[in-house]
Structure 1
Amino acid sequence: LEQEVERRQRLGQESAARKALISKSYLPVRPDVYNTLQDEALAPEFLAAAEYSRSPGADFEGLLQRLETVSGEKRIYRVPV
């Protein structure tokens, strides 16, 4: 039981160490995929929602006006990307 407690206490440190190692050594196989995403490739509805979200007066109700409601009861929304 003590070993399991110690293992769980080390999880955060080990996870941070793995993350740092991956960040230092990761090289994308296809860097062009990461660098070429342009606004033209995104749906206008998504761009409108993103632009609204960045605006100073943005609020939840205003954002909902830009999203399609799938289930209001379950608070499930959809926006094309």
Structure 2
Amino acid sequence: MSTDTPAPLPAELSKKHEALKEHLAKLGAVAVAFSGGVDSTLLLSVAADVLGDNAVAITARAQMIPAREVREASDFCAKRGIRHVVMDVDA
């Protein structure tokens, strides 16, 4: 059975999640180095939830990074309404 409501977090993880939200709120604005991996996706998602337009994703585009990964990062940001900057880093 599929549901759109995530399961509640265990108490310890919930406490860490709240601490992250509080820390991000104190910062006021952030730029997240966004690879599209699980760690940066979590951080970006929480930052966007807490800061709205004051959270921006930054993704590097280079020959060593598969174009598919950059596209997936862009698609994620577009679907969530997160500002996304893709920077070319090849010299």
Query: Normalising by structure 2, what TM-score?
Result: 0.27
Give the structure with the higher percent strand.
2
Query: Normalising by structure 1, what TM-score?
Result: 0.29
RCO greater where, 1 or 2, for CA within 8 Å and sep 6 or more? 2
| Larger CA Rg, structure 1 vs 2 | 1
